[in-house]
Amino acid sequence: MESAIGIDLGTTFSCVATIKPNGKPTVIANFDGHNVTPSVVAYPTSKTLEPLVGKSAVKSSVPLENIIYDSKRFIGRQYNDESVQEDMKSWPFEIINDKGKPLVKLTHNNEEKKLAAEEISAEVLKMMKKVAKKSLPNEQKVTRAVITVPAHFDQRQRHSTMEAAKLAGIEVIRLVNEPTAVAIAYGVHNQGKKNVFIYDLGGGGQDFDRIIADYALENFKNFPRNNPKMMRRLIEECTEAKITLSCHGTATIFVDNPASDDGWKLILSRDKLNQLIGKKLYGTLSIVDKTLRTAKMKKTNIDIVILAGGSTRILMVQDLLEKKFGKDKVWNKHNPDEVVAKGAALVAKSLTNSSSDSLQLYFNDIVPLSIGQKIYGNKMLVAIPRGTKYPCKFEQNTITSEDNQSFIPFTIYEDKNGILNVTSIETANGNRASIQIQYDGCSHKDVIFQ
């Protein structure tokens, strides 16, 4: 007997959920008793030891360059991507360029290894699988899951996420966009015809932690900025302070000094936090406005605003959204760290239970980036526009740019830059050929040539 689960494979934390007999989604606590697990993997340098995952990785004595986090930020990306290059400036682990792909170079069990983001994420998924297994009856296996991804993930990133699941021994029933999972967890499908806006501020909260850390460093004399372990400790303290300020007016940042009995201490107020990160929070409102324009809506058209992601606990976030949309429209009744996994579990239940009285969900995600064909003049002829509901397919008939051309080269682009497929096919009827592009958000083989 098998049990399907929902997994939120997060940038900072990951979470797994299943469905209770009463039909309600429930998050499964990990082996430390917490509902969320840090998406961190530590690789011991010596001895024959398995990688450590979660809190044990964060608290381990493993050298900092062997403690890997943020794998979601470079999964499915290229080494030269601007975001990867920017993130590398703050990562203590080594990233190398392997034929255009970013790999983590480290020593594990006395052997030099080069690890892709998929391999690192697979360790987190293995842990989620173990966590789920311990809560289920002995006869139930955990081999299938619905896994969530950011709505903006392109096809490479989605495919790489599926590869990570495969390495973890998990069959992906479906990839679901995180905002869609949030909406399902909140039961918006039971609310009638409503316009729902999902505001998700999750892994980006690390940017706030770094801003707080920079402020702390301005106040800490002789702090060893070049010591990666001490800097990591400072970031952890800043993260805790940010969380504390969601409930209290002040928080203490304290880092021990191993060289003396003294340490570095700073009292941070909520007002100061708002001052430090306010510019970035106001910046998210421009993204809100852009999203509304893309949807061809005004803020008055929105009936419900749902908060997701741990950083939405910051009271300033809630205040800004309540002022923009109206207090009564902003919903935050679910734990923002857990709501995505709950939605994924509901989708898993819907897709795997065939009984007539089981949960039935019907929804479509949308294509995050336009997909099309490179044509004469290095232009892109869009086949599937951004925002199209999927699964979907589109067929294009193409003619050669020159007479008596035997083959037509096809280069399929995603948003003008990400190449999905390159091939050439023989022309038919003199100088014509057709191409069928289909998209389901999961499969990597989405191009059919005829």
What does the pLDDT read at residue 429? 57
**Is there a single domain that holds both residue 254 and residue 400?**
no
pLDDT at 420: 58
Task: Quickly state the pLDDT bin for 359 (edges 50, 70, 90).
Answer: low
427 lies in some domain: yes
Task: Give the span between the Cα atoms of 334 and 317, in whole angstroms.
Answer: 16
Q: Which residue has the higher pLDDT, 150 or 431?
A: 150
The reported pLDDT for the residue numbered 98 is 96
What is the pTM assigned to this prediction? 0.86
191 within some domain = no
Residues 327 and 407 in one domain: no
Q: Are 70 and 25 contained in the same domain?
A: yes
d(C-alpha 194, C-alpha 187), whole Å: 11
Q: How confident is the model at residue 381 (pLDDT cuts 50, 70, 90)?
A: confident
408 and 373 in one domain? Answer: yes
pLDDT at 369: 81
Do 68 and 95 fall into the same domain? yes
Output the pLDDT for position 444.
46
State mean pLDDT over 39-43: 96
Are 99 and 25 in the same domain? yes
For 412, the domain range is: 365-439
- Give per-residue pLDDT as tens, 216-275: 999 999 999 888 888 888 998 999 999 999 999 999 999 998 888 789 999 999 999 999
Beta-sheet strands, E only, within 300-446: 304-308, 330-331, 365-366, 371-375, 379-384, 389-390, 392-399, 407-414, 418-426, 432-439
Residue 343 has pLDDT above 90, yes or no: yes
Is 87 known to be catalytic? no
More confident position, 390 or 317: 317
Catalytic residue selected from 70, 72, 119, 337: 72
* Residue closest to 252 by CA, chosen among 265, 261, 263: 265
Calpha distance 310→318 (Å, rounded): 12
**Domain final position from 322, 352, 382:** 352
Q: Which residue has the higher pLDDT, 390 or 157?
A: 157
Q: Do 365 and 437 contact (CB within 8 A), yes or no?
A: no
What is the predicted pLDDT for the residue at 364? 73
Give percent of the chain above pLDDT 70: 86
- Whichever domain contains 253, its CATH number is 3.90.640.10
- Residue 446 within any structural domain of the chain: no
Per-residue pLDDT for 6 more than 90? yes
Catalytic site includes residue 261? no
From the candidates 70, 119, 123, 200, give the one annotated as an active-site residue: 200
Question: What does the alpha-carbon distance between residue 313 and residue 273 come to, in Å, rounded to a whole number?
Answer: 13
Q: Give the 3-state secondary structure percentages of the chain, helix then strand then coil, rounded to 5.
A: 35, 30, 35
| 37 and 182 assigned to the same domain | yes
Domain boundary among 274, 291, 310: 274
CATH number of residue 407's parent domain: 2.60.34.10
Distance between CA atoms of 450 and 428, rounded to whole angstroms? 9
178 in catalytic set: yes
pLDDT digits (tens, 9 = 90+) for 191-214: 788 899 999 987 667 789 999 999
Is 99 contained in some domain?
yes
Query: What confidence tens digit (pLDDT) does each residue in 406-422 have?
Result: 666 667 777 755 555 55
- Quick one: pLDDT at residue 365? 77
Model confidence at 441: pLDDT above 90:
no
**Is the pLDDT confidence value at 171 over 60?**
yes
Which of 409 and 187 is assigned the larger pLDDT? Answer: 187
Considering the domain architecture, whether residues 246 and 309 belong to the same structural domain is answered as no
In angstroms, the CA 129 to CA 359 distance is 23
In terms of domains, do 285 and 269 share one? Answer: no
318 lies in the same domain as 429: no
What is the model's pLDDT at position 162? Answer: 96
Is residue 56 over pLDDT 60? yes
Domain boundary among 318, 352, 386: 352
β-strand 263-269 against 250-256: which pairing, if any?
antiparallel
Give the CATH number for residue 55. Answer: 3.30.420.40
Does the pLDDT at position 375 exceed 80?
no
Q: Residue 444 domain-assigned?
A: no
**What residue spans of 59-100 are helical by DSSP H?**
71-74, 82-88
Find the mean pLDDT for residues 67-72: 95
pLDDT at 136: 79
Same structural domain for residues 115 and 10? yes
- Burial grade of 344 (CB within 10 A; 0-12, 13-18, 19 or more): buried
Active-site pick, 154, 163, 178, 446: 178
Residue 312 domain-assigned (yes or no): yes
pLDDT for 442: 63
The packing angle between helices 178-185 and 339-352, to 10°, is 80
The count of structural domains within the chain is 4
Q: Is 72 a catalytic residue?
A: yes
pLDDT over 90 for what percent of the chain? 55
How far is the C-alpha of 167 from the C-alpha of 126, rounded, in Å?
Answer: 9
Least confident of 12-21, 100-109, 307-316, 377-386: 377-386
Query: Would 395 be classed as within a structural domain?
Result: yes
Beta bridge partners of 433: 398
Residues 72 and 16 in one domain: yes
Residue 448's pLDDT is what? 47
| Mean pLDDT taken over the chain | 86
* 346 in any annotated domain: yes
Tokens of 353: 């239970």
